[in-house]
Structure 1
Amino acid sequence: MSPLNSTFFINDDIVHPDFFFISGLAGIPHTNYYYIFLGFVYAVTVLGNTFVMFMIYSDHCLHSPKYIVVFNLALSDLCGSTAVIPQVIDTFLFKSHLISFEACLTNMYFVLGFLTMQSFTLTLLSYDRCVAICFPLRYNDLVTHKSILLIIAILWMIAGMAILIAVMFISTLSFCKSTVVNSYFCDHGPIYLMACNDNTPSAVIRWTHPVLILWLPVPFITGTYICIARALLKIAASERLKAMKTCTSHLILVSVFYFPLCFTFALASIIHRNARIINLSLSTVMPPMLNPIIYSLKTEEFTESIKKLYRRTMIHITVRKK
């Protein structure tokens, strides 16, 4: 059946299609290699983020407010990748381009919701680093387990409600023409543009989401690092280097997550559609894979925790052999 000839069902003067046709990667050459790459990325993402969560849960030395935030980042990365990659592989590798209207809205909710939460968590990590370096004597008072858990809960509610509102407005639109979604998932922008009734609320939301994940977090993170830089100039060189090392992993995470997204959004109107889709898909799937690797290699506390786990494992194996 042609995607342009989808059947429609009408409910209270709102026309919804039975399905959408996800066209995203269909016209891009050599995509089979890209699906193999995505499968590898997903496997590393699942193993890496599961390992990070296991280490934080099992090692009491990592039961600090900072690592509660890192645990939340790993959880968001794992869930976000699970919402994107299996669906993309199923859609394009196995030619399952059709997705029901309800399943499409569900996919939209989880992909955008977890993407928003990843951005929020990176922003919260910058707050943690700023307080630790700028107000070291007050860190234990300002950043507590209770306050961090409360902030994380509030951020989850904001992300969940913001995307729920976006999905609810999509459900009020009528689609009486094309049902072809020019993206690799049920993306909000391409879908609301296909509506044949008033889509003004969705258009407003279309510009609100980048504000949530980019234009508010990026200036906030930039501001925290300006404060950190000013604080570092006031301390001794040896202490300065030690403090800078604690920020290295977070700066890499921020660069990996925000730079590709900023590039894609800034040049969306001039780059080719296929290039935009590939860039956006890579921006979505690569940070969750790289984050646990970066934390494992660049964070001293986490590295020490891994070494302790390795020593305990080797001792246990030696005892069993005896």
Structure 2
Amino acid sequence: MIMAFDRYVAICNPLRYAAIMTNTMVIKLTVSAWGVAFVLVGILLGLTVRLNRCRSMIMNPYCDNASLFKLSCESVYINNVYGLTFTVVLFTASIGSIVLTYTKITVVCLTSKNKTLNSKALKTCSTHLVVYLIMVFSGMSLIALHRFPEYADYRKLSSILFHIIPGSLNPIIYGMQSKEVRKFLSKLFEPKKILP
């Protein structure tokens, strides 16, 4: 959400960027993002810690909150309601802010006749959007698969891929924007000329 806001300011208010995105604003945005995450996750952990456990085997490759719920013999209804509400609110806020900012960016690009601005905006926003969509798809598939016990093997694979795919693709997707990286890769994969 912060990256979407940053791109919005950079593209829609380029002359005021330095005045809007000050060090103070960046600190406020960062603290608010981390603060909201700590509060929401703290509540989730508090709800999880209160549960008694009658099982001890976690069926996931790593210990996540949903796996801890499955160890309990008590009702986890409150945990499920809070967890799903938490997920829906975060995804709605995230997707909503990105749709809003990218819609405004699109309007600016469509009304502007500056092809350089439009090209730069498209490159910047498309990479961010691709990385974001990969992360959202990976996260949503993992959350959905936790609801279907018959797909436990797919959930295990999905949970591993959730930690590998987005993190591995980030440097590739953002790196392809760099002319130096593109030039290096084109030389690397360029067919070699063989002298007769």
Task: Please state which band the TM-score falls in when normalised by the shorter chain.
Answer: 0.7 to 0.9
Shift of 1:295: 2.3
Within the candidate set 26, 29, 49, 1:151 is matched to 29
Q: Does residue 1:170 correspond to 2:42, yes or no?
A: no
Distance in 1 separating the partners of 2:72 and 2:43: 17
Higher relative contact order (CA 8 A, sep 6+): 1
Distance in 2 separating the partners of 1:223 and 1:190: 35
Shift of 1:130: 1.3
Q: Does residue 1:185 correspond to 2:62, yes or no?
A: yes
Q: Does residue 1:262 correspond to 2:140, yes or no?
A: yes
Query: What whole-Å deviation, never above 9, does each CA across 1:72-123 have from its counterpart, x for those lacking one?
Result: xxxxxxxxxxxxxxxxxxxxxxxxxxxxxxxxxxxxxxxxxxxxxxxxxxx2
Distance in 2 separating the partners of 1:228 and 1:222: 10
Shift of 1:212: 5.2
Shift of 1:266: 4.5
1:140 counterpart residue number:
18
Greater share of strand: 1
Task: Give aligned-pair identity as a percent.
Answer: 25
Alignment of 1:68-147 (within 5 A): 123-147=1-25
Query: What whole-Å deviation, never above 9, does each CA across 1:183-218 have from its counterpart, x for those lacking one?
Result: 221121132243233434322332134235533212
Partner amino acid, structure 2, of 1:155: A
Q: Does residue 1:195 correspond to 2:72, yes or no?
A: yes
Structure 2 unpaired stretches of 5+:
185-196
Distance verdict in 2 for CA 1:199–1:261, change over 3 Å: closer
2:170 counterpart residue number:
291
Alignment of 1:55-66 (within 5 A): none
Alignment of 1:271-290 (within 5 A): 272-290=151-169
Q: Tell me the TM-score normalised to structure 2 length.
A: 0.78
Structure 1 unpaired stretches of 5+:
1-122, 308-322
How many aligned positions are there?
180
2:189 counterpart residue number:
none
**Alpha-carbon RMSD:** 2.6
The SS at the match of 1:298 is coil
- The 8 Å contact of residues 174 and 197 in structure 1, kept in 2 or not, is answered as yes
Distance in 2 separating the partners of 1:237 and 1:168: 53
2:38 counterpart residue number:
160
Distance in 1 separating the partners of 2:69 and 2:142: 19
The SS at the match of 1:179 is coil
Query: What whole-Å deviation, never above 9, does each CA across 1:114-172 have from its counterpart, x for those lacking one?
Result: xxxxxxxxx21011111211222322222222201221022112212221221122111
Distance verdict in 2 for CA 1:267–1:194, change over 3 Å: closer
Which segments of structure 1 move beyond 3 Å, counting only runs of 4 or more? 197-201, 263-271
Distance verdict in 2 for CA 1:292–1:219, change over 3 Å: same
The 10-residue stretch of structure 1 (268-277 or 147-156) with the greater mean CA deviation from structure 2: 268-277
Distance in 2 separating the partners of 1:141 and 1:200: 47
Query: What whole-Å deviation, never above 9, does each CA across 1:268-297 have from its counterpart, x for those lacking one?
Result: 546722112211321222212221232232
The SS at the match of 1:170 is helix
Distance in 2 separating the partners of 1:269 and 1:237: 49
Within the candidate set 87, 101, 121, 1:224 is matched to 101
